[in-house]
Amino acid sequence: MFKELEALEKEFPQFKEKNSPTVKVGSTSSKKFEDYTHKTRLYSLDNTYSYEELEKWYEKIKADFPNRKELEVVCELKIDGLAVALTYENSELTVGATRGDGVTGENITANLKTVKTIPKHLTSDGISLEARGEIYMPKSAFEQLNKRQADSRQKLFANPRNAAAGSLRQQNPEITAERELAMFTYAGILNNPEVKTHEETLLYLKKMGFNLNPNFRKCKNIQEAIEYCKHWDKARYDLDYATDGVVIKINELAIQNELGFTSRAPRWATAFKFPPEEMSTTLLDIEINVGRTGAVTPVAVLEPVFISGSTVSRATLHNFDEIKRLDINIGDRVLIKKAAEIIPKVITVMKKGSRQSGAFEAPEKCPFCGSTLVPAEGEVNLYCPNTLGCPAQLKGRVEYWASNDCMDIEGLGESIIAQLVDKELIKSPADLYSLTVDDLMTLDLIARKSAQNLYNSIQASKHPPLARFINALGIRHVGKEMSEILAKKFLTFENLKHASAEDILEIEGAGEKIAGSVLDFFKNSYNNEVLQKLEANSVIPEELKREEGKDTFAGLTFVITGTLSKPRDSFEKIIKQHGGKVSSSVSKKTAYVLLGEAPGSKFDKARELGVKIINEKEFDDLLGEN
């Protein structure tokens, strides 16, 4: 399309727009949110990296106030998240915005309103103030989120900070609400003459309903502040959130005012940055790990070292290109780091080992099942295409297999699956269907009645809709939506199995990546064995029939907002059954916005764009007319 546009512009220069993508440098960033100009600028902080520097900073300030023997400071943990400013008018939260460049940020009020630790109303009436703080994602929530991302074969976040940023910049606040975000409030513009110190500001904010980080401390002098830094440099690893330093702030607001700001940071505060810990150790081995979704990653096996609060004996090497880049091999002395990221990483080779065996080569076969590994289209990684039979993938695959959007097997959860795999009762999802009640009785903590129930629900799952069956197979890049599209296009599983790359490429939205992975999947002989076993166990998906006269909504995109009389799913189903599409955001292309009670911002957007808004009755009428 870009090339076509270039050619057209050459031929018809009179129609070339000044903002054409062909003249812009870099990405044509689609601005997702509205700009918000901060009432008072948000500053950054100067950093200090040693206790000496910290003392110097303090002594310099003290020199300006010779009649003071000591100056109190407040120490707070520096939270590694995203700064936001919240405006309250008459005790109501009116605007929540990102820091941006300090002058202008993005208005993300709807998303911030979903954060539980942000008060929507203050605890006292008639108050106007601005609160500032850091939005973060707890480490535990980050791990859970990445687990869910992996299970649904979506991109993983590198660290909690990126996950928090991604969650805040969602178009749909419902997704933000599902992410476990929280806020620590660390500053306020109160316009309250009774509040005379930073400590009082914090306590006032707390009284108004804000969440403070409980670990702040008032210190009499810089020595106490240094003790605080030393303590948290070690203790930080026990916290459920990431912190990369300590912020030290002069307590008295009158002194803060006198000191003022440089062009980018306050003179009355500084950040002491914790050192990222690095350690050297010996690389004992390079293990090949196959993840729950088949991704192959090399893992460094290390002589154990204590680093950043825990003993490390393994570190990720990411992929085989990284091994080449580092020129790393077994026996080398390597440098390990565990900084903001939670997973330790090999940074560099310090001293090469004997290297008798030459350069380290990527394996050709999966160490767990022997399948020939294949490169993932557009990625540096290799993956094991034996989706259904590879033991390394089995637990994850079966969990996915049993989930609601797949075979929907009630009562088949993570711990039961783990037991079934560990006791070798199943070697693939197909084996689920030959399990007997007696087999299930051998599992821990399962009584006859629940074994019988589980047996029944496994048996009851044998004839799912085709789309759910395709989804259950876990074909790379084929998720819930694409499974529905494939089912609609091919109507039977047999048709899909024999589809050519061209057949798949005919589908709008399916590119080489999807065609390639569907073909790889059906090429793998182990997968085919499992498919045969499924059929032998009479696991047969329903076939689709082309329904005539049911394309009332063909080519129409709906957006649903607010609460309706039935769950949203059921409306989505009706729309899709009648050939329509459902989208989560309103654009000019939206045909109808189906409006329920208490609608969200989509309603305003629809009005702004002049999109047709209908209620449930009108929706039924549309259906009925046809």
Residue ranges binding ligand IVH (CB under 6 A): 43-45, 76, 78-79, 83, 99, 134, 186-187, 247, 266, 269, 271
For ligand IVH, the closer of residues 44 and 280 by Cβ is: 44
Residue 96 vs 541, nearer CB to ligand IVH: 96
Q: Which is nearer to ligand IVH, 210 or 400 (CB)?
A: 210
β-pairing, 295-307 with 382-383? antiparallel
* Smallest separation (angstroms) from ligand IVH to the CB of 122: 21
Please count the residues of the chain: 626
Dihedral of the CA atoms 476, 482, 484, 487 (nearest 10)? -70
Q: At what angle do helices 139-151 and 160-168 cross, to 10 degrees?
A: 70
CB of 135 to ligand IVH, least distance (A): 9
Cβ neighbourhood burial of 104 (10 Å; 0-12, 13-18, 19+): middle
Amino acid 534 reads L
- In angstroms, what is the minimal distance from the CB of 88 to ligand IVH? 19
One-letter amino acid of 331: G
Burial of 501 (0-12, 13-18, 19+ CB in 10 A): middle
E strands present in 577-616: 581-583, 592-595, 612-614
Shortest reach from residue 82's CB to ligand IVH, in Å: 7
3-state helix, strand, coil in the chain (%, to 5): 35, 20, 40
* Residue 132: other Cβ atoms inside 10 A: 19
Degrees, nearest 5: CA angle 267-268-271: 85
Between residues 39 and 352, which has the closer beta carbon with respect to ligand IVH?
39
- The phi and psi torsions of 372 (rounded to 5 degrees) equal -70, 125
Q: Among candidates 549, 513, 213, which has minimal Cα distance to 375?
A: 513
Position closest to ligand IVH via CB: 83
Q: Which is nearer to ligand IVH, 77 or 334 (CB)?
A: 77
594 and 573 Cβ atoms separated by less than 8 Å:
no
DSSP code of residue 238? G
Residue (21 or 275) nearer to ligand IVH, CB: 275
What is the helix (H) or strand (E) element at residue 227, kind and residue range? helix 222-235
The label of the residue with tokens 């997702």 reads: 32
CB atoms near residue 44 (< 10 Å): 15
Q: Where are the alpha helices (DSSP H) in 300-393?
A: 320-326
Pair 216, 202: CB distance under 8 Å: yes
Decide whether 245 or 596 has the Cβ nearer to ligand IVH: 245
Distance, CA of 477 to CA of 293 (rounded, Å)? 11
Candidates 32, 60, 62, 78; catalytic one: 78
**CA dist., res. 261 & res. 290, Å (int):** 52
Closest to ligand IVH by CB, 16 or 217: 217
Q: Structure tokens of 525?
A: 């002989």
**CA-to-CA dists, residue 20 to 11, 13, 28, 33, angstroms:** 15, 12, 9, 21
Instruction: Give the containing element (helix H, strand E) for 448.
Output: helix 448-460
CB closer to ligand IVH, 99 vs 345: 99
Q: Which is nearer to ligand IVH, 83 or 595 (CB)?
A: 83
> End-to-end distance of the chain based on CA atoms, in angstroms?
38
The secondary element (H helix, E strand) that includes residue 467 is helix 466-472
62 is catalytic: no
Residue 295, Cβ neighbours under 10 Å: how many? Answer: 20
* 303 and 314 Cβ atoms separated by less than 8 Å: no
Q: Which helix (H) or strand (E) holds 277?
A: strand 277-290
Residue 612, by phi and psi: left (phi above 0), alpha (psi -120 to 50) or beta? beta
Sheet bearing 82-89, strands edge to edge = 92-98, 82-89, 129-136, 182-189
Q: Which is nearer to ligand IVH, 250 or 454 (CB)?
A: 250
Catalytic residues: 78
